[in-house]
Amino acid sequence: MLNGKNILITGGTGSFGNHFVDYVLEHYKPNKIIIYSRDEYKQFIMANKYKEHKDVLRFFIGDVRDKARFTRALNDVDYVIHAAAMKQVPACEYNPIEAVKTNINGAMNIVDAVLDSPSVKRVVALSTDKAVNPINLYGGTKLVSDKLFIAANAYVGNRDLNFSVVRYGNVAGSRGSVIPFFQNLIDKGERALPITDYRMTRFWIDLEQGVELVIKALSEARGGETFISKIPSFKITDLAQAMLPGCDMPEVGIREGEKLHEVMVTREDSMTTYEYEKHYIIYPHFDWWKDRETVTGKKVEQGFEYSSGKNTEWLDVEALKERLRNYKHL
Give yes or no for residue 174 having a pLDDT over 80: no
Give yes or no for residue 329 having a pLDDT over 50: no
Taking the domains of the chain in order of start, what are their residue ranges? 6-170+205-230+264-307
130 versus 295: the higher-pLDDT residue is 130
pLDDT per residue as tens digits for the range 276-300:
999 999 999 876 666 666 788 899 9
Q: Which fold would CATH assign to domain 6-170+205-230+264-307?
A: Rossmann fold (3.40.50)
For the entire predicted model, the pTM comes to: 0.92
Across residues 272-277, what is the average pLDDT? 94
pLDDT per residue as tens digits for the range 188-226:
999 999 999 999 999 998 888 999 999 999 999 999 999
Whole-number pLDDT of residue 244: 96
Across residues 243-259, what is the average pLDDT? 90
Catalytic residue among 5, 130, 216, 230: 130
Average pLDDT over the chain reads 93
Is 42 one of the catalytic residues? no
Across residues 178-184, what is the average pLDDT? 91
Whole-number pLDDT of residue 326: 73
pLDDT per residue as tens digits for the range 90-104:
899 999 999 999 999
Whole-number pLDDT of residue 295: 80
Alpha-carbon radius of gyration of the chain: 20
Across residues 37-65, what is the average pLDDT? 96
Query: HEC string of the chain?
Result: CCCCCEEEEECCCCHHHHHHHHHHHHHCCCCEEEEEECCHHHHHHHHHHCHHHCCCEEEEECCCCCHHHHHHHCCCCCEEEECCCCCCHHHHHHCHHHHHHHHHHHHHHHHHHHHHCCCCCEEEEEEEHHHCCCCCHHHHHHHHHHHHHHHHHHHCCCCCCEEEEEEECCCCCCCCCHHHHHHHHHHCCCCECCECCCCCEEECCCHHHHHHHHHHHHHHCCCCCEEEECCCEEEHHHHHHHHCCCCECCECCCCCCCCCCCEEECCHHHHHEEECCCEEEECCCCCCCCCHHHCCCEECCCCCCEECCCCCCECCHHHHHHHHCCCCCC
Binned at pLDDT 50, 70 and 90, residue 1 comes out as: confident
Across residues 269-277, what is the average pLDDT? 93
Q: What are phi and psi of 264, to 5 degrees?
A: -105, -35
Other Cβ atoms less than 10 A from the Cβ of 12: the count is 26
